[in-house]
Amino acid sequence: MTLESRPRRLTTPQDLVEAGIAAPERVPELEAVARRYAIGVTPALAKLIDPGDPADPIARQFVPNPRELIRDPAERDDPIGDDAMSPVKGLVHRYPDRVLIKLAAVCAVYCRFCFRRERVGPGSGLLSAADFAGALDYVRAHPAIWEVILTGGDPLTLSPRRVAETTQALAAVSHVKVLRWHTRLPVAAPERVTKAMAHALMTEGKTTVVALHANHPREFTEAARDACRRLAAEGAMLVSQSVLLKGVNDDAETLIDLMRAFVEARVKPYYLHHGDLAPGTAHWRVSIAKGQELMRVLRARLSGFATPTYMLDIPGGRGKAPIGPQWIRCGEDGKHMVMDPQGVEHAYVDRLGADR
């Protein structure tokens, strides 16, 4: 295959039309969205879109929709409060034992529901060497920091050389024990997750975690599974992140298939996020009540290690909270009522030994 004939990333409305993903008459509305929010669809994901299905769950995640320009009054440019928790540029310190470092403000693919959609896209660039040095100094000065989370954008859009330099710089900080990389690349551009990239994430004496974002089981092509295998083969721990999205995965069968696909790819299901209050994303959000009911079904039908935790990121930088259904409540006379996977309640009484 010549360089000219190689499939390329789609970054404009016209690209989407030429690829058969969008109808020509949609160009004006797509351009209106593109003037505000970046477009990016990789060849791997473009191949998964069924242009004949108006409700295609892959297209719904990545093809612009004019409803993105409709802003709910509760939506925020910074919905999870990164700015309020950023003591130095590019670093967020929300929890005592871990920090985020935003290495890149670009992604291989731009999710239409992204909670950092106001901050990422072409021209947003990378964290400068000076700003990374400042973030590294901050980490060194705070011995309570046990874990560093590398995010963005997508930090694996960087070269293996740059990734390795970041890994080694952080590994030199003795109190940092865990490096966690947040990425979509194994499903969005699996060919870029090479053995060299996987090796660049690893360092002696530290635990490397890769948090993979995927929302639909169709994203797990054989190439995506191979990318996960390469990461696992180098010694990375893989965990999942998904967002509960209307029209994508807001039914039990899709979520069950997604969680099983993660496990089959050696990825531990970790978080199912409730949709954040990012601008123009209301049409993707699912009610908390529906999310809780879906989690009841997942808990009844999946193994414990295949069941994610349903999480809400509290606006204003207050952190994440699990919002799954409650399985136990305090009943009369100090008895607890605990619900089994079929939804039937049973009495349970604490039996505590006497203090000595």
pLDDT at 267: 98
**Does pLDDT of 1 surpass 70?**
no
Where in the sequence numbering do the catalytic residues fall? 94-95, 98, 107, 111, 114, 116, 276, 313, 320
Look at residues 196, 197, 183, 223 and name the one whose alpha carbon lies nearest to residue 45.
223
Paired tokens of 126 = 């990378």
CB-CB contact of 290 with 297 (8 Å): no
Report angle CA 38, 135, 117 to the nearest 5 degrees.
15
pLDDT by residue (tens digit) across 107-136? 999 999 999 999 898 777 899 999 999 999
Please report the DSSP string for 204-244 in residue order: TTSEEEEEEE--SGGG--HHHHHHHHHHHHTT-EEEEEEE-
Paired tokens of 314 = 């509290």
CB-CB contact of 187 with 62 (8 Å): no
pLDDT at 182: 98
pLDDT by residue (tens digit) across 285-315? 999 999 999 999 999 999 999 999 999 999 9
* Arithmetic mean of pLDDT, 314-335: 89
CA dihedral sign, ordered 286, 287, 290, 294? positive
* Arithmetic mean of pLDDT, 227-243: 98
pLDDT by residue (tens digit) across 154-193? 999 999 999 999 999 999 999 999 999 999 999 999 999 9
Residue found under tokens 């060497």? 129
pLDDT by residue (tens digit) across 140-151? 999 999 999 999
* pLDDT confidence tier of residue 356, bands split at 50, 70 and 90: low
**Does pLDDT of 354 surpass 80?**
no
**Does pLDDT of 72 surpass 70?**
yes
- Rounded Cα–Cα distance for residues 226 and 181 (Å): 18
Q: Where are the beta strands (DSSP E) in the chain?
A: 91-95, 98-104, 147-152, 178-183, 207-213, 237-243, 268-273, 309-314, 319-322, 328-330, 336-339, 345-348
* Arithmetic mean of pLDDT, 9-34: 97
pLDDT at 350: 85
**Does pLDDT of 332 surpass 90?**
no
Average pLDDT, the chain: 95
The residue type of 3 is: L
CB-CB contact of 252 with 244 (8 Å): no
CB-CB contact of 33 with 69 (8 Å): yes
* pLDDT confidence tier of residue 7, bands split at 50, 70 and 90: confident
Which position has the higher pLDDT, 356 or 132? 132
Which residues lie closer than 8 Å to 89 by C-beta, 6 or more apart?
A: 127, 131, 134, 135
- Rounded Cα–Cα distance for residues 333 and 299 (Å): 28
CB-CB contact of 170 with 136 (8 Å): yes
